[in-house]
Homo-oligomer: A and B are copies of this chain.
Amino acid sequence: MTVVTHSASPRRAAYVPSADLVKDVLAGRAIAIARMISRAEEGYPEAAAALAELYRLGGKAHVIGITGVPGAGKSTLVSALIKAYAAGGHKVGVIAVDPSSPYSGGAILGDRVRMSETAAAGGAFVRSMATRGHLGGLTRATLQAVDVLDAAGYDPVIIETVGVGQDEVEVVTAAHTVVVLSAPGLGDDIQAIKAGILEIADIHAVSKCDKPEAAATVSALRGMLALGGERPGSRRAPPVLPVSAVSGERIGELKDAIGAHWAHLNESGERAERQRAMGRTRILGTARHLFQQKFQEAPETLERQIRAVAERRMDPAVAARALLGWEETP
């Protein structure tokens, strides 16, 4: 029997420094991966260097963004894709930034409903990100979670996000291949919201293709695309594919289209271009986040500067420069 000598009372496991988690992440250990993603999510400064190292070691995975309005069937589609990729020997990583997605808080290896299927399918890693309380850091945290899965050998890594809101659109455009999922028979107002995300699609999928209304939705989408709804900068007209989570064949077609888009990016040199666009998004997003943190980390200093400016003892530019650390505080 093992005797705990250093403490008789029950206590939490010691905090593992992030630097020490890196090799376990690279070895694909689920506990280390989950911890590292949590630290990215919370924005722990201690984890910054480890996340930076994982970023530099990553870059191999094909990152797929899947977006669409709530009710379009994104989570069902993602589950079907996990199975299809697993059948081909792929370990799939999923980061869900979708409050309506059914995955549990920190769930590992699949969601509550399809857990056994997914786990049996060769070890996917599925994780939901909190979408609240990030103060503009959602994009940063989500893409760092993608980095962790990428470095851990997951390929492809899927970002699932509801296509409403600036943050959600920003994060999904940081994928190599963006699939926009539409559902037949949704109301006009929802179609209007969706109109804003149509142009970011590399591939359009229409869910529930076993329903009779699906054909009309496919035609409507093809009509819109004929009017010039392509992703800016893309030289390839996005295909429109009817899918159904119950039909394995149609999911295979979507998987093939995603693969064809990835091959196209690699062969045409567009991958490097898109990588640069992602680099820009990440640098500016991180800078915005650091900027906001700067004002939050010293509220007393900010209040003191505000009073000094209000009483004309200091001018706003000097106060702003001092708060940004670009000038000595006078």
Establish whether residues A55 and B315, one from each chain, have CB atoms under 8 Å apart when the complex forms.
Answer: yes
List of B residues within 8 angstroms of A25 by Cβ: none
Q: Interface size class for chain A?
A: 35 or more
Task: A52-B317, A56-B312, A287-B295 are known; give 4 further A-B pairs, CB within 8 A.
Answer: A59-B312, A272-B310, A284-B295, A286-B317
* Interface pair A283/B59, CB less than 8 Å apart: no
**Residue A290 contacts which of B58, B275, B321 (CB distance < 8 angstroms)?**
B321
Question: Which residues on the B side are within 8 Å of A311 (C-beta)?
Answer: 275
Q: Are B290 and A326 in contact (CB under 8 A)?
A: yes
Shortest distance between the CB of A272 and any CB in chain B (Å): 7
Can you name 20 A-B residue pairings with CB atoms under 8 Å?
A48-B317, A51-B315, A52-B315, A52-B317, A52-B318, A55-B316, A56-B313, A275-B311, A276-B310, A279-B307, A279-B309, A279-B316, A283-B302, A283-B306, A286-B317, A287-B320, A287-B323, A290-B320, A291-B291, A325-B325
A183 near B: Cβ within 8 Å? no
Query: Which residues on B sit within 8 Å (CB–CB) of A291?
Result: 287, 291, 324
> How close is A36's CB to chain B, nearest CB, in angstroms?
14
A280 within 8 A of B: yes
A278 touches B52 (CB 8 A): no
Which chain B positions have C-beta within 8 A of A48? 317
From residue A176, how far is it (CB to closest CB) to chain B in Å? 12
Decide yes or no whether A35 CB sits under 8 A from chain B: no
B residues within 8 A CB of A309?
A: 279, 282-283
Report the separation of the CA atoms of residues A324 and B285 in the bound assembly, to the nearest whole angstrom. Answer: 12
A-side interface mostly? helix
Q: Contact at B58–A323, with CB atoms within 8 Å? A: no
Inter-subunit contact B55/A286 (CB<8 Å): no
- Tell which of A58, A272, A317 has the most Cβ of chain B within 10 Å: A317
Question: With an 8 A cutoff between CB atoms, is A181 at the interface?
Answer: no
Report how far A55 CA is from B307 CA in the complex, Å.
14
Cα separation A284 to B323 with both chains bound (whole Å): 10
Chain B CB within 8 A of A84 CB: no
Whether A320 contacts B283 in the complex (CB less than 8 A), given A310-B278, A325-B326, comes out as yes
Which residues from chain B contact A287 at a C-beta distance below 8 Å? Answer: 291, 295, 320, 323-324
Closest Cβ of chain B to A304, distance in Å, is 11
Q: Among B140, B275, B290, B312, which residue has its beta carbon within 8 angstroms of that of A324?
A: B290
Judge whether A314 is part of the interface by a CB distance below 8 angstroms.
yes
